[in-house]
Every structure is written in structure tokens, then in C-alpha cells.
Amino acid sequence: MTAIETVDLRRVYETHSREPNVVALNGLSLSVEDGMVQGLLGPNGAGKATLVKILSTVLLPTSGHASVLGYDVVRQKHEVRPRIGIVFGGDRGLYWRLTGRENLEYWAALYHVPQAETKRRVDSPLERVGLTERADYRVETYSRGMKQRLHLARGLIADARMLFLDEPTTGMNPVAAHEFRDLILELRSQGRTILLTTHDMAEAEALCDAVAFIDRGQVIATETPRSFGALLRGLEAVEFEGARPETLEALQLLPAVSAVSAVSDQTHRVEVHDTAGVEAVLRLLVDHRVTSLRTARPTLEDLYLQLLGGR
Amino acid sequence: MSDIRVFLYGLRVGWMQFTGFWTWSTWTGGWLLRIVAQATFFAMIGQLLDSPESLRYLVIGNGVVVGALAVNWTVPASTWDRGDGTYPLLVVSPSSLIPAVIGRTAIWLLNGIATSLASLVTLAVVFRIAVPWPSALLIAPLVTLICASVFCFALRLGSLVTRMPSARNVVHNSALTALMAFCGVSVPVAFWPGWVQVIANCLPLTHGLAAIRGVFDGAPLAMIASNAVWSIVVSAGWLAISVLTMDRMADAGRADGSIEFVR
Amino acid sequence: MSPFRPAIAAVQAQVRMSTRSFEDLMPVLTMPLFALVFLAIFVHSGRSDLAGYAMVAPLLMTVAQMGFFVASEVVTNDRDEQLLELLVAAPTPLFATLWPRILLLNALGLVGFVEIWAITVGVFGISVEFHHPWVAAATLVLTVFSSAGTALLMAALFCFGRSARTFQNSVTYPLYLIAGVLVPVQYLPSWLQPLSPLVFLYWAADLLRDSLRADEMVNLAWRLTALAGLGAFAGGIGALILGRMLDRLQRDGALGLR
């Protein structure tokens, strides 16, 4: 079954001034199968959050069609809402005068969780996100990471089949982010469908069955993690300092090297085709007694340039 | 010299904030209308009592106290740097906190003076209260003195509530009600028990209002002047307390962490 | 699941939030202090028989202030805190939790009676009797309802922006004056008096003052209906405007923005 489907989805924000209207989604079409973890990767302003808000019935599209679990998000929003869990994240979106537990109890009521089940449905997510000890403290005392975890717990309250997670690990420390990944994998094993937006490529690669790359309101590519990983590895680079002219010449001659450029007065960057190329470059640099060197992970910008260049 | 610059910039911040909320039309049609309605609300008790003396007493008292109401906005305004996130930055800057706070809140002093004068004139016309001449020329300076006195008092309260911003409106409103009850606005100070009178005489409105009543009642100039001098003394006292404690309140906030709270 | 569960949960959450905040309770703590001022005037003038007026007025002002300044802010506060989006996206309709919260906040205004009574008896030693206590109780219940309806209308207007705030700050005392909350409206200029019955506080003040007297209550059903009807009218208009406003905010993508 198709859990999420969008066809030519457009969302335009009118500015009501001389400034041009903002086109957040520009004919976005996407299909997500039931039981998948679908990643949405893209820079800020690409349209990821807008898409999530339309699918979660917070926002109305300007044109096009979107459905969640077979229900139209505009005409059948009342069917969509009980079936989804939403995690927007951020510093707000919580009642700061209530405790973490009280927040969840309230949302449990709003999501029609029976009274008899509330305690279990509140305690379990709290434990899962590691907030049990702080559950009875007011949210105003929480750190950024704790608030993010509480957002996640809130999204799990409804025990929904479909989860929308909008940059869920923002503000989390590395340990919490790692635990979050375990949680997502656990949820996937339970057969839930998850739409996850992120600009963390490692997170997308680790968690998603498929990753859609979004730029300027459109999907520019959809990759599996395997092909995604290959793309990333093809964009690896080595940066080093203290290069002599003969070193640079030798690097240019290596077949695996695609480009050598100066990043600053002291630093040069060597881009390679694949992992074997990294080995060859490192060996050459060591032979030339270059000791200050590091491998550089591709940035999101690198990835996009690659994808856009490929189009 | 730098304190004056800081004060002037603070004044500009306060002015921009004030004019961001009020325009001329909303100030006159909204704020002033509400103020005159409030003063009338209390003054009409005199009509309920069927007592021209009470009516006159309440008109004068409430025409003045609405100015204090406006000036007393200094109390919550003293915490607005918190909401803007600029309070900790002000505290740690090389300049003193005092000219910045006084500058930013001074707009409420000006608002108070304008409010009180406009209300007194309106109420005197509506309720046909005779205004003696030429001693009426003293009313504007006395209103200015009263508002300045309340401003100094409000600065002190304002520095207290910076430690507990969530209580700002409770303190602001309670202080105003206390001024209305005890300072000769609604009933003579002598109505209250002796210990309340002692406190009332240390509050900013009492002596200035007595001076204004003296003007309306055609009292000797010496009596008016004496009350004005006492008003200045009380103002100076509250200003001194405010100035001496403002930086200490900030230090206390740094010690207990309350400086970080926005709400 | 009980259909009332979301409403009950909303009331519970609002009670917790409000009792942990000076801001929400500010009217309840400060408005009753006006009893001190009113009673001082009446006692000084030898008119302790008007002490009942000095209790009725601050109580009504407290309930009204809770409506004008606290309950009416519920929607904009939730919007500022990025909660409105989440509430709209929940299966429970927004009004199912919004109305109980607004009603609760207005009802909290009645707690001010404790302070008013303490001032009347404790400070001035005056005892006031309500000769028609059930009329007084019914009036207060309907006053809370009407104040909540008015608050809902104001909440809807606040979605339009900052200009509505000027209205919020300006409306109180003109309404108290026109409604005769303290001084009965017959002391107002005759050209103002026709406006008085349009304000729910007029009916509330009149009924409460009459319930202090031993005389038989006149036109009771009509007056209670008028009190409730004004609140229902304001609330109905408010609900309509708010519903349209939320739709517009959803279309414009401004549910989470200010």
C-alpha cells in the first residue's frame, strides 16, 4: 500500500508586498510505501518542513494532491489526524509550565488515548527517550536536547502507524542522537511508516530505506542508502597542509584524482573518484613527507552539486 | 558623558517601543478614553453618595492618580529588557545599568504627565469643577513633580521585579491600588490607622496630591510649597534607593541565576 | 473513550498552568483590592449600607479582567509557543479544548471573592448578606459564561494582529462605566444609558445588587436570559470569526507565526 503520495504539490506563500511570492513547494511528487523509512534530505529552505506540514494537515497546499494512508490531507483531514504522530521539534511546541509527564498526558487525551491506557502510553515513550527521571520537572527547566526528546515522546503517544519527524535530532547530544537511531529502527521493525527530514547525511544513510533529495521545492533525486553511500564515497576528498610544487604535480598525475585546489594559503584539497583513490592520495602524501592531512567528508553542498550536475 | 549617551539611547529605545504600540489616534481615542473613563468611574461615587464635596474630592484625586497609573508602567517596563534578551548584556556592559534603565522607562514619566493633565482638564470640564486662577498655573508643575515622584518609586519596584519578572504585573497593579487607597486619592490619609499614615507619608503621591488639593481649595501658598518640598524629599529618597540598589539587584540576579530568566 | 475526556484534560492542564503563574492569576490577586478603595470611600462618607456595592463591583471586575486579559490570550499564547499547529493537527477539534480553558479561566475570577470578603469583614468589620443567594449564584455562573463568550470573541479578534491589543487595553473602564458595575446607570447621562443593556456586566451588576436586598426579585427570568444571551451571542460570533481565522492562517501558513 502507498502510505504517502503527493502529485505536483505546490505551496506558495504570498508576501502581500512588492517582494515576490515565496514558492516553498514547486510541483513536488513523491511516493512512499507502507512500512518504509523515507528520508527527505535538503538544505534549509528546500521545502522539507513545508511538505511535512502539508502531509500532517497543518498547512493547506496551494495546488496538487497529497494523501496519507489513502486519505486526502485536505478533504479527509479528520481521517488523517488520528493516524499520524508528529514531531516538529524546536524550543517551543511544549507547555513550559507543565511537567514533561503532564504535557504527554494532555496530548494523550487529545489523541483519544483511553484513560486506562494513558499511564502506560506516557511512561513507555518517556522511558524510551530517556526522560523518566526528569518527567516530573517543568519543561521550562529542560535543556534543548531534553525538549527535543520530549517532542519525540509526544509524537509516539498516539502509537500511530505513520510518523512525521522533522529534523528530530536537532539539539541532541551524540549519545541521545545515537539512541534515537535505535528507536527509529525499532519503530520500523514494528511496521510503521516514517517520514524523516534531515540535513544530516550520515543519519539519512543509517536510517532510511530511501532518501529523496529536495531542492527548491522539488524532488531532484531519490536514492537507496546503498547508492547514496556510493555517491558519498565518490565525493570524498583529502585536505593537507605544507604542499610543495612537486607534490601537487604528482597528485595531478594520479588517475583517481579528479581535482586539486587551494582552499587557503596553506591548505590544499584533493578530490577523488572513490575510496581506492583516497588510499592512493594518502600514500603519495606520506611518501612526500606531508604529515598534516585529513580526509574530508562531503558536505551537503558537494552532494547537491553532484546531483544537480548529473541532471 | 557616556552615561548621558546611554540615557539618550535608552530613551530612544523606550520611545520606539511606545510609538510601536501607540499612535496619536490610539493614544487619544484608546488610552486617554480609557483613562478618563477610569477616573470618571471612581469620581461618580460622589454622585452615588449625593455629595458634591465627595465628588470634587474624587475628581481631583483620580485626575491625578491616573497619571501615576501611567508612570507606574515603569515597573513592568523595567523587565522588558529581559523579554528582549538584552538584560544580561546590559548588566555585563562596561556602562552602569542605571542610565539605560532610566532612559528606557522615562517615556512612561512623560506619558504620565500628559495623561494626568489631560484627565484633570477633561474631568474639571465634565464635572464643572472650578479651577482657581492664577494659582491654577501651579497645577502643571505639581503634576510633573508627582509623576516624577511616582517614577522614582516605580524604578525601585522595577529593579525588585527584575529578580522575578513573572510578578511584574501583580506588583504594578497592587502598588497602584495602594496609592489609590492610602495616599489621599479616595479618602483623606487621616482616615487610616496611624501606622498606615506613616507609610502613606513615605509614598510618592501623598504630598504632591495634597499640594494640588491646596491649589484647588485656594490654600495659602506656604502650605502648597511645603507639600511640594516634602514631595521632592520623598522623590529624592526613592531615587536614591533605586540608584543604590539597581546594580546590587543585578548582582543578586547573577548570583542566583535569575538573570537568565526571560519569563 | 468519554467524549468529555479532552475537555477535562484541557481544564486540568489549564488549572496547573494558571496556578503556577502570577501572570494568569494577576487579576484574581489585584482586582479584589479595589474593595479596599470602594469600602474606604463608603465608610468615610458614613454610607456603610453601600458595602454590598463595594463587593459586587470588584468581583465583576475580576471576572471580566480574567476574560479580557487572560482567557482572551489563550489562542495567541499557543500560537506564540508554536503549539497552535500541533493542536490543529490533533484529532480533537480545537474548540473542544479551547472553550473549557476559556471558561475555566473566567471561573477562576470568582476566587477573588475570598479576598473581597476578607477585606470587607477583616479590615472594615462589615457583614454583608445576600438575601437572594441562589439568584446571586446563578448570576455569577452566567456572568462567567458571558465573560467567557466575550473572551472568545476577543481571542478571535487578536488573531488579526497588534491593533486589536489597543482595544484590549482601552475597553475595560468604559465598559465598567457604561454597565454601571459600581455606580448604577441611572447616574449616567441619559444619552449613554441606552448602551448599558448591551453589556453583559450591566445585567450582572443589577442582579447582584438586587440580590442583596430583601425585596422580591422582579423580571428575574428575563434578566438572567439577557445576561446569558449576550454571552452566547458574543461567543457565537467569536467562534465563527475564530474558525474563519484559523482556516485563513492554515491557508497562509501562519499558524505557527506571529
Question: At C245, which amino acid appears?
Answer: M
* Residue A301 confidence (pLDDT): 66
The shortest CB-CB distance from B33 to any of C23, C36, C170 is to C170
Same domain as A292, residue A207: no
- The structural domains of chain B, with segments of one domain joined by +, span 2-260
* Residue A234 confidence (pLDDT): 67
Same domain as A260, residue A169: no
> Which of C74, C102, C89 lies closest to C255, judged by CA?
C89
C-alpha cell at B140: 502643571
A16 burial type by CB count under 10 A (0-12 exposed, 13-18 middle, 19+ buried): exposed
The DSSP code sequence of B154-180 is HHHHHHHHTTSGGGHHHHHHHHHHHHH
Q: What DSSP state is assigned to residue C160? A: T
Chain C residues whose beta carbon lies within 8 Å of the beta carbon of residue B73? none
Question: What is the span of the domain harbouring residue A241?
Answer: 234-310
* Residue B131 confidence (pLDDT): 84
What whole-number distance in Å separates Cα of residue A84 and Cα of residue A103? 18
The residue assigned the cell 581535482 is A259
| Cα dihedral across residues B13, B14, B18, B24: positive or negative | negative
> Which parts of chain C fold into alpha helices (H)?
5-19, 22-30, 34-44, 51-65, 74-80, 84-89, 94-108, 112-118, 133-158, 163-170, 172-179, 200-212, 220-252
> Which of C19, C30, C58, C234 lies closest to C148, judged by CA?
C234
What whole-number distance in Å separates Cα of residue A291 and Cα of residue C62? 76
Same domain as A196, residue A270: no
C-alpha cell at B219: 490654600
C-alpha cell at C185: 446607570
Question: C111 lies in a domain?
Answer: yes
Q: Sort strands A37-41 and A193-198 into parallel, antiparallel or unpaired.
A: parallel
The shortest CB-CB distance from B34 to any of C45, C47, C169 is to C169
Question: A229 lies in a domain?
Answer: no
**Beta-carbon neighbour count of residue C241 at 10 Å?**
17
Question: How many structural domains are present in chain A?
Answer: 2
The DSSP code sequence of C22-91 is HHHHHHHHHGGGHHHHHHHHHHHTT-GGGHHHHHHHHHHHHHHHIIIIIGGGHHHHHHHTT-HHHHHHSS
Same domain as A136, residue A216: yes
Question: At A138, which amino acid appears?
Answer: R
Interchain CB contact of C91 with A (< 8 Å): yes
Both ends of chain A: CA-CA distance in Å?
30
pLDDT at C88 over 80: yes
CATH classification of the domain holding A279: 3.30.70.250
Interchain CB contact of B177 with C (< 8 Å): yes
What whole-number distance in Å separates Cα of residue C112 and Cα of residue C102? 17
Question: What is the span of the domain harbouring residue C235?
Answer: 5-252
More confident residue, C14 or B89: C14
Tens of each residue's pLDDT in chain A, 311 residues: 899 999 999 998 877 777 888 888 999 999 999 999 999 988 888 899 899 999 999 889 999 999 999 999 999 999 999 999 999 877 788 999 999 999 999 999 999 999 899 999 999 999 989 999 999 999 999 998 899 999 999 999 989 999 999 988 877 788 878 888 888 889 989 999 999 998 787 888 888 999 999 988 988 888 887 776 676 666 778 889 887 889 988 988 888 888 888 888 888 988 887 777 888 888 888 888 888 888 876 666 677 767 766 54
Question: A188 lies in a domain?
Answer: yes
Interchain CB contact of C14 with A (< 8 Å): no
pLDDT at B89 over 60: yes
What whole-number distance in Å separates Cα of residue B45 and Cα of residue B81? 40
Same domain as A252, residue A127: no
Chains that touch B (3 or more CB pairs under 8 A): C
Question: A238 lies in a domain?
Answer: yes
Same domain as A140, residue A274: no
Q: Which of A113-122, A213-222, B61-70, C156-165 has the lowest mean pLDDT?
A: C156-165
Chains that touch C (3 or more CB pairs under 8 A): A, B
Question: How many structural domains are present in chain C?
Answer: 1
Same domain as A44, residue A119: yes
Same domain as A164, residue A35: yes
Q: Sort strands A193-198 and A210-215 into parallel, antiparallel or unpaired.
A: unpaired
CA angle C170, C173, C174 (to 5 degrees): 80
pLDDT at B82 over 80: no
Dump pLDDT digits (tens) for B199-219.
999 999 999 999 999 999 999
User: Contact, A140 vs A96, CB < 8 A?
Assistant: yes
Q: Report the complex ipTM.
A: 0.91
User: Contact, A152 vs A168, CB < 8 A?
Assistant: yes
**Beta-carbon neighbour count of residue C114 at 10 Å?**
11
What whole-number distance in Å separates Cα of residue A6 and Cα of residue A63? 11
C-alpha cell at A227: 547508492
Question: C213 lies in a domain?
Answer: yes
Question: C258 lies in a domain?
Answer: no
Contact state of A112 with C92 under an 8 Å Cβ cutoff: yes
* Residue B11 confidence (pLDDT): 87
> Which of C112, C34, C33, C38 lies closest to C70, judged by CA?
C112
pLDDT at B262 over 70: no
Interface test mutation site (partner B, options C18, C19, C24, C41, max chain B beta carbons within 10 A): C41
Instruction: Name the phi and psi angles at A298, rounded to 5.
Output: -65, 145
> What residues are paired with B199 via a beta bridge?
none
* Residue C239 confidence (pLDDT): 95
Dump pLDDT digits (tens) for C179-232.
999 999 999 999 999 999 999 999 999 999 999 999 999 999 999 999 999 999
* Residue A177 confidence (pLDDT): 82
* Residue B164 confidence (pLDDT): 81
The minimum CA-CA distance between C2 and chain B, rounded to whole Å, is: 36
What whole-number distance in Å separates Cα of residue C215 and Cα of residue C55? 19
What whole-number distance in Å separates Cα of residue A103 and Cα of residue A101? 5
Question: A212 lies in a domain?
Answer: yes
Chain C residues whose beta carbon lies within 8 Å of the beta carbon of residue B177? 30, 33-34, 36-37
C-alpha cell at A33: 510505501
What whole-number distance in Å separates Cα of residue C32 and Cα of residue C118? 10
The shortest CB-CB distance from B47 to any of C47, C170, C187 is to C187
What whole-number distance in Å separates Cα of residue B4 and Cα of residue B201? 32
What whole-number distance in Å separates Cα of residue C178 and Cα of residue C197? 9
Chain C residues whose beta carbon lies within 8 Å of the beta carbon of residue A138? 20
What whole-number distance in Å separates Cα of residue A94 and Cα of residue A148? 10
User: Contact, A171 vs A147, CB < 8 A?
Assistant: yes
The shortest CB-CB distance from A105 to any of C9, C83, C252 is to C9
Dump pLDDT digits (tens) for B95-149.
777 888 888 899 999 999 999 999 999 999 999 998 888 888 999 999 999 999 9
What whole-number distance in Å separates Cα of residue B35 and Cα of residue C201? 19
CATH classification of the domain holding A58: 3.40.50.300
Within 13 Å and on the Cβ side, how many CA atoms surround A259? 9
Same domain as A127, residue A9: yes
C-alpha cell at A166: 522533522
DSSP three-state, residue A155: helix
Element (H, E) at B86: none
The minimum CA-CA distance between C169 and chain B, rounded to whole Å, is: 7
What whole-number distance in Å separates Cα of residue C197 and Cα of residue C179? 7
C-alpha cell at B239: 531615587
Which residue spans within chain B are E strands per DSSP?
Answer: none
The shortest CB-CB distance from C177 to any of B40, B58, B173 is to B40
Q: What DSSP state is assigned to residue A222? A: E
Question: At B115, which amino acid appears?
Answer: T
Same domain as A261, residue A207: no
Question: At B208, which amino acid appears?
Answer: G
Confidence at C23, pLDDT banded by 50, 70, 90: confident
Interchain CB contact of C36 with B (< 8 Å): yes
Interface test mutation site (partner A, options C2, C5, C23, C24, max chain A beta carbons within 10 A): C5
Same domain as A126, residue A47: yes
Confidence at C258, pLDDT banded by 50, 70, 90: very low
C-alpha cell at C225: 436570559
Peptide bond into B134 cis (omega under 30): yes
pLDDT at C120 over 80: yes
